[in-house]
Amino acid sequence: MAVRIGYAAGAFDLFHVGHLNILRHAKEHCDFLVAGVVSDEMLRETKGITPFVPTHERADIVRSIAFVDDVFIETTPSKMDAWQEVGFTHFFKGDDWRGTDKGQRLEREFAEVGVEVVYFPYTAHTSSTQLRRALDRVGDETMPERSHSRA
């Protein structure tokens, strides 16, 4: 029987239960799990955000999770580049990607190289975006000069 190598990528900034759920579900569906941690540079380039926690600290956090076997730091936006480096057989993503243009493109690209895309339920009640907004609001309330500088 072939070894199922799974890959679950994310920023993993402001690590929360949604991140944990994706990684836990991913490990249940593979023999060896590699977590892709998107670098600071890539987050700025692709999402326009600067993470609160630097790349190598996020990688250390994710690497410490019992069901993560290895960590790969993504330095390009292409998941195919990650596949060429890691050699995974299964790609795991939250189901918020299912049916989207990005998700369908990913499915087509990976189908060509024999990688199965598997979706897991997205943890809607907690997200890094929500946490980031809450931190911004708290910062605005506690640092009056911040709220003025956004005008």
Residue 134 maps to a domain:
no
Q: What is the mean pLDDT of the chain?
A: 87
Q: How far apart are CA 31 and CA 16, in angstroms?
A: 24
Statement: residue 133 has pLDDT above 70: no
Residue 109 maps to a domain:
yes
Residue 146 maps to a domain:
no
pLDDT score recorded for residue 125: 56
- Laid out side by side, the sheet with 70-74 consists of 70-74, 32-38, 5-10, 90-94, 116-120
The range of the structural domain enclosing residue 46 comes to 5-123
Statement: residue 146 has pLDDT above 50: no
Measured CA angle at 116 (ends 91, 35), to 5 deg? 15
Do strands 70-74 and 5-10 pair parallel, antiparallel, or not at all (unpaired)? unpaired
Number of separate domains in the chain: 1
- Which tokens go with 39? 């670098």
Q: Sign of the CA dihedral 52, 22, 8, 111?
A: negative
Statement: residue 72 has pLDDT above 80: yes
Residue 110 maps to a domain:
yes
Q: What is the CATH number of the domain that holds 45?
A: 3.40.50.620
The pLDDT tens digits for 9-48 are: 999 998 888 889 899 999 999 999 999 999 999 999 998 9
Statement: residue 144 has pLDDT above 90: no
Residue 131 maps to a domain:
no
Residue 28 maps to a domain:
yes
The answer to whether the predicted template modeling score (pTM) of the entire model surpasses 0.75 is: yes
Residue 99 maps to a domain:
yes
Q: Tell the residue number behind the tokens 């999770």, with chain if given.
A: 65
Average pLDDT over residues 89-99: 92
pLDDT score recorded for residue 143: 47
Residue 82 maps to a domain:
yes
pLDDT score recorded for residue 132: 60
